């Protein structure tokens, strides 16, 4: 498992929004930047990055951010996608800018896209990392990202310090990582406002996928579901047949979408600080001397990298 061995050959993929929102909810709004605007989320995100780098000493890190959910491919397919989530307040939007600027200044590669989500960026980079001989550690509490766990990868729920490799993903959900998107398309996802089949929960969806492998095979054999050995199988067979359109729609929302403009040269995602930019963001966030010193000590004691890339 990735957690048990050296991180020098692993790519850390951070689902950044989760940790920005967590800091915003937990730290007091009395924390302000040089302009007197709230900076609690930016302070908390910076502290999260400091602890992660100090604890794991990863060789390569990417921070993936969501640019716009209302203009994403999924929203165009299904306008109600994530419609249950209120928009971020204006003062938090500004802090997201601080967070991205801070991550870039300390030398992390950052990515965002107008067409796909941070989840997709992470999925694309995890796939690319595997092809380039790197293991991935996906830093997130989002179950959706378990679908991108390859044989040498893991999802790390940082707050709970829970690690899931491919074997543990299967143990938790009852299906292999590559079947997670199909699982969510069958049972739905209330967090993202994705519709599912009424009466089909995670356990039933997993049972169906273990038998049929994927959604296409399942939908081609809905009649045979009635003879499966579980309670309510005939009713589930009927529901699957009645909700084929919903299932296919949901599957477009739960799987990976690609943005070909995202560069996937994972070897370049090393930590390469820009000290001039770092001084600027320190000033903008009104970091005191103690915070500045601990960051500079951490970064200057690391081996130099090959250069980080940023795209927006």
**In this predicted model, what pLDDT tens digit does every residue of 87-97 receive, in sequence order?**
888 889 899 99
Among the listed residues 110, 123, 113, the one whose alpha carbon sits nearest the alpha carbon of residue 73 = 113
Please identify which residue in the block is written with the tokens 């000590």: 297
Please check whether residues 157 and 279 belong to one and the same domain. Answer: yes
Sort strands 162-164 and 60-64 into parallel, antiparallel or unpaired.
Answer: unpaired
Angle at 95 between CA 93 and CA 96, to 5 degrees: 65
Q: Does the reported pTM lie above 0.85?
A: yes
Q: How far apart are CA 96 and CA 119, in angstroms?
A: 17
Please check whether residues 55 and 151 belong to one and the same domain. Answer: yes
Angle at 18 between CA 190 and CA 61, to 5 degrees: 130
Please check whether residues 14 and 124 belong to one and the same domain. Answer: yes
- Of residues 67 and 211, more confidence is placed in 211
Please check whether residues 243 and 280 belong to one and the same domain. Answer: no
Please check whether residues 209 and 292 belong to one and the same domain. Answer: no
Question: What tokens appear for 119 in the block?
Answer: 């989840």
Point out which residues pair with 242 in neighbouring strands: none
pLDDT band per the 50, 70, 90 thresholds, residue 303? low
**In this predicted model, what pLDDT tens digit does every residue of 129-143 receive, in sequence order?**
999 999 999 999 999
Please check whether residues 233 and 261 belong to one and the same domain. Answer: no
Contacts of 70 (CB under 8 A, 6+ apart): none
Question: What tokens appear for 263 in the block?
Answer: 């560069």
Domain count, the chain: 2
**In this predicted model, what pLDDT tens digit does every residue of 25-68 receive, in sequence order?**
999 999 999 999 999 999 999 999 999 999 998 989 999 999 87
Please check whether residues 236 and 263 belong to one and the same domain. Answer: no
Conformation bin of residue 28: beta by default, left when phi > 0, alpha when psi is -120 to 50: beta
CATH code for the domain in which residue 208 is found: 1.10.150.20
Q: How far apart are CA 120 and CA 255, in angstroms?
A: 8
Please check whether residues 250 and 162 belong to one and the same domain. Answer: no
SS3 239: helix
Contacts of 309 (CB under 8 A, 6+ apart): 109, 263, 265, 268, 269
The average confidence (pLDDT) of the chain is: 92
Q: How far apart are CA 62 and CA 51, in angstroms?
A: 16
CA-based torsion, 284, 287, 288, 293: positive or negative:
negative
pLDDT band per the 50, 70, 90 thresholds, residue 200? very high
pLDDT band per the 50, 70, 90 thresholds, residue 5? very low
| Segment among 99-113, 256-270, 297-311 with least mean pLDDT | 297-311
CATH code for the domain in which residue 135 is found: 3.40.50.1010
DSSP string, 288-303: -HHHHHHHHHHHHTSP
Q: Is the pLDDT of residue 306 over 80?
A: no
Please check whether residues 189 and 49 belong to one and the same domain. Answer: no
**In this predicted model, what pLDDT tens digit does every residue of 250-279 receive, in sequence order?**
999 999 999 999 989 998 999 999 999 999
Question: What tokens appear for 25 in the block?
Answer: 């909810």
Please check whether residues 115 and 196 belong to one and the same domain. Answer: no
Q: How far apart are CA 112 and CA 62, in angstroms?
A: 11
Q: Is 308 part of any domain?
A: no
Helices 16-26 and 40-56: crossing angle, nearest 10°? 120
Q: Is 51 part of any domain?
A: yes
**Residue 37 is part of which domain span?**
2-169+257-300
Q: Do residues 39 and 285 make contact, with C-beta atoms less than 8 angstroms apart? A: yes
Q: Is 310 part of any domain?
A: no
Please check whether residues 268 and 125 belong to one and the same domain. Answer: yes
Please check whether residues 249 and 261 belong to one and the same domain. Answer: no
Question: What tokens appear for 14 in the block?
Answer: 């951070």
Q: Is 311 part of any domain?
A: no
């Amino acid at each position: 498992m990735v957690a048990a061995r050296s991180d020098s050959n692993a790519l850390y993929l951070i689902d950044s929004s989760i940790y920005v929102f967590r800091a915003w909810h937990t730290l007091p709004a009395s924390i302000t930047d040089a302009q007197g605007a709230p900076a609690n989320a930016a302070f908390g995100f910076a502290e999260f990055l400091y602890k992660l780098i100090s604890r794991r000493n990863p060789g390569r890190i990417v921070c993936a951010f969501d640019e716009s959910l209302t203009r994403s491919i999924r929203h165009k397919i299904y306008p109600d996608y994530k419609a249950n989530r209120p928009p971020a307040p204006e003062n938090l939007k500004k802090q997201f800018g601080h967070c991205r600027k801070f991550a870039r200044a300390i030398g992390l590669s950052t990515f965002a896209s107008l067409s796909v989500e941070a989840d997709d960026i992470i999925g694309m980079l995890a796939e690319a990392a595997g092809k380039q001989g790197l293991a991935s550690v996906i830093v997130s509490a989002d179950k959706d990202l378990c679908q991108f766990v390859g044989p040498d990868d893991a999802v790390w729920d940082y707050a709970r310090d829970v690690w899931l490799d491919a074997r543990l993903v299967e143990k938790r959900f009852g299906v292999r990582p590559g079947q997670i998107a199909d699982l969510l398309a069958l049972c739905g996802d209330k967090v993202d406002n994705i519709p599912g089949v009424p009466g089909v929960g995670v356990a039933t969806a997993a049972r169906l996928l273990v038998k049929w492998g994927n959604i296409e095979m399942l939908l081609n054999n809905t009649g045979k579901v009635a003879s499966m050995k579980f309670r309510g199988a005939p009713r589930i067979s009927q529901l699957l047949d009645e909700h084929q359109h919903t299932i296919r729609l949901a599957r477009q929302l739960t799987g990976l979408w690609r943005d070909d403009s995202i560069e996937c040269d994972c070897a370049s995602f090393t930590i390469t600080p820009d000290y001039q930019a770092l001084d600027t963001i320190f000033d903008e966030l009104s970091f005191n001397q103690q915070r500045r010193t601990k960051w500079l000590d951490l970064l200057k004691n690391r081996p130099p990298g090959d250069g980080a890339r940023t795209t927006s």
